[in-house]
Amino acid sequence: MVYDFGRYGHVNTIPTTGDGILNVYKDGNAYLQSEMTDRNSVGYSAPTSVDQDKAIMNHYKQETDNGQVYNGGAVPGGGGTAYKIEDYSIFSDNCLTKSAEGLNEVNMNWVGKENDPRNASVTLEKNYRAIGLSRTEYNKGGEVKRTYTAPAQQPMQNFGEIKVPHYNSEDHTSVAPKPH
């Protein structure tokens, strides 16, 4: 299951806002293959338990239950359903904040209170090892490269405020948390 949130519907007069659409893909591999035809991406991941997976999925199910099927439910690439769940704003309600909401359900918010996807990308790239995340590159054309695998003994339960690195967007520096 893949959840993808963005300004995929109506764009307001102020182009940083519009319809917030949550696309729910039933086949993660099909979604990934469709994305890799257009662009390169980097993914960060951590192992989760079945109970953690259920908690995250329940969060997004509540979002879709409270939303409405959008545009007949069609999602790019097929294989899922689109829902209008809220208004999108690049400054407050965007792909990053929607991801953080799901991760908060299992105390794994890796980006803290950051709400700018560009800053979060820089923060994660600089700190994924210290945070305990694995890193994978998904390249245009279909090549997948795991570039770092986090050690299995890395504690993953207590991310919260303690383990999220501080990122200063003014000078683009970050301070990784010290291991406990």
pLDDT tens by residue, 113-169: 777 887 888 888 999 999 899 999 999 999 999 999 999 734 444 333 323 333 333
Query: pTM for the whole thing?
Result: 0.77
Q: 51 pLDDT band (50/70/90 cuts)?
A: very high
Question: CA-CA distance, 127 to 116, in Å (whole number)?
Answer: 16
Question: CA-CA distance, 135 to 147, in Å (whole number)?
Answer: 6
Q: Residue 34, exposed/middle/buried by CB under 10 A (0-12, 13-18, 19+)?
A: middle
Q: 179 pLDDT band (50/70/90 cuts)?
A: very low
Q: Higher confidence at residue 165 or residue 29?
A: 29
> Where do the domains of the chain lie?
2-168
Count of residues making up the chain: 180
Question: CA-CA distance, 166 to 82, in Å (whole number)?
Answer: 34
User: Per-residue pLDDT averaged across 33-54, rounded?
Assistant: 91
- Pick the closest to residue 44 from 142, 141, 169, 159 (CA basis): 159
